[in-house]
Structure 1
């Protein structure tokens, strides 16, 4: 009896611009292989003017979903059929899921960060400083508030964007959670001194991202203390100058690979309904960066 063969691969991917430095494929495809799934993860450069057509193309090709990275996390919403709860709350999407032909926007950035943070400390009742007010900062700050963080300070160069995020946190998000919570904004004009009593410090900007790997946050690194957990969302390179400075100061450090793996696990669960091996995913990234 002839063997039944299936040469059709399921497709997912990443839409970004630029996207060549995005290492997500290096962790997603090993996870698919370990699950014995014949799936492909495509890293696709999509310019802003082509985003609408790219989403239409994903529908035509029957994509099971796709990630959105800079600069598409907000703009993609208008081309989707609906939003999950987290994406609705924060107004940003990083993971799109094909649910019975409908493209639904989710946000795994913040969930992934909180998951990686919980391996070191409980975010409940913590005082947190976040640099940035873009899509990553928005996702992380929302999920940190939901996880019980008591205070979040947003540090950003754009006053308008920073104040908008703080307003979201102090109204819509605060009303949706139990417990005491407060957010405040600080305009990032000069060298920032991290206040004593801060317990979690997060870089959610692109400062230090390849190829500008020597860039440093404009902060007084002497105000980083060993009691702080310091995190950087940048996966490429994993050891940013911020991560190196924090390590030298004795801080507990979460590099960008930790958050990337954690949100990737959630994305694969959304797309496939199966739970991948996070160790396989981390190893895939470490092999690429030579950081194992």
Structure 2
């Protein structure tokens, strides 16, 4: 009698909104293949009212982990067995890791951004200006503060959300944090070291959206970054480059948070060059 076929594969996934071609799936599966791992990374659409059942299914089917997108990053916490210290500070989870029989929440977004930023400068002692007060801003704010940023200024249209994030960062990290209402074209102060767009302005399909700042206020000593991976070169980054600023695109953050999640799930260090090449193929860079 022939040996039975073994169809077992380790599984990871992303729970979130539907997209035609998930860049993260392409990136992660390229890394699995490069590392010789018979793993799969699946894209699974989950409605908010079905999140609890989805996490139960993840447990039952032995998934090794998962990523989460909007709108699940906060709601999922109640269904997990625990969260990391950083995720607890942020009150948001974008990565689930199975540890023995427990599902633990982590947040790799901010760590991925900081790792990308360190390719140009160490955030320690730097003055950070960040646009936005959503989940990405929360993660980046916490991790840049924990990495030694001197101070953070949050610029946001919603006063309530901006003030809430400023208070959270001050309370959790102890560094000076200021909130400034975003009205009209914001003028960047001369002493800022790093400018971060943590909003969705310019995200596909609104690729021609003009980022509302005074571009004449950007100086060559300022690093300008954008968390948007699609398109990699946003209007903000193109104009910042014209002003002589070093720039960071959103692919770096996406790759680095993927590297962290990959290691948490598999125990293996992937090659970030393979992961970025997969993303660049998706986006036609």
**Coarse TM-score class (shorter-chain normalised):** over 0.9
Task: Work out the CA distance in 1 between the residues paired with 2:57 and 2:233.
Answer: 36
C-alpha change, 1:21 and 1:6, in structure 2 (3 Å) is: closer
Asked if 1:259 corresponds to 2:253, the answer is yes
Instruction: Number of aligned residue pairs: give it.
Output: 285
Task: Work out the CA distance in 2 between the residues paired with 1:101 and 1:21.
Answer: 31
Selected match of 1:237 from 222, 228, 231:
231
SS of residue paired to 1:128? strand
* Residue of structure 1 equivalent to 2:118: 118
* Residue of structure 2 equivalent to 1:44: 44
Structure 1 unaligned regions, length at least 5: 175-180
Selected match of 1:270 from 250, 264, 272:
264
Q: 1:114–1:143: 8 Å Cα contact kept in structure 2?
A: yes
* Residue of structure 2 equivalent to 1:71: 71
SS of residue paired to 2:23? coil
Selected match of 2:240 from 246, 250, 262:
246
C-alpha deviation, 1:246, in angstroms: 1.3
C-alpha deviation, 1:162, in angstroms: 1.0
C-alpha change, 1:164 and 1:224, in structure 2 (3 Å) is: same
* Residue of structure 2 equivalent to 1:192: 186
Task: Work out the CA distance in 2 between the residues paired with 1:269 and 1:4.
Answer: 31
* Residue of structure 2 equivalent to 1:107: 107
Task: Work out the CA distance in 2 between the residues paired with 1:18 and 1:213.
Answer: 19
Q: 1:110–1:143: 8 Å Cα contact kept in structure 2?
A: yes
C-alpha deviation, 1:23, in angstroms: 1.2
Q: 1:126–1:150: 8 Å Cα contact kept in structure 2?
A: yes
* TM-score of the aligned structures, taking structure 2 as reference length: 0.96
* TM-score of the aligned structures, taking structure 1 as reference length: 0.93
C-alpha change, 1:117 and 1:3, in structure 2 (3 Å) is: farther
Structure 2 unaligned regions, length at least 5: none
C-alpha deviation, 1:283, in angstroms: 0.6
C-alpha deviation, 1:3, in angstroms: 7.2
Q: How does 1:123-272 map to 2 (within 5 A)?
A: 123-174=123-174, 181-272=175-266
Q: 1:117–1:123: 8 Å Cα contact kept in structure 2?
A: yes
C-alpha deviation, 1:22, in angstroms: 4.1
C-alpha RMSD over aligned residues = 1.6
Q: 1:110–1:144: 8 Å Cα contact kept in structure 2?
A: yes
Task: Work out the CA distance in 2 between the residues paired with 1:275 and 1:168.
Answer: 33
Task: Work out the CA distance in 2 between the residues paired with 1:22 and 1:123.
Answer: 30
Higher mean displacement: 182-191 or 107-116: 182-191
Task: Work out the CA distance in 2 between the residues paired with 1:194 and 1:96.
Answer: 37
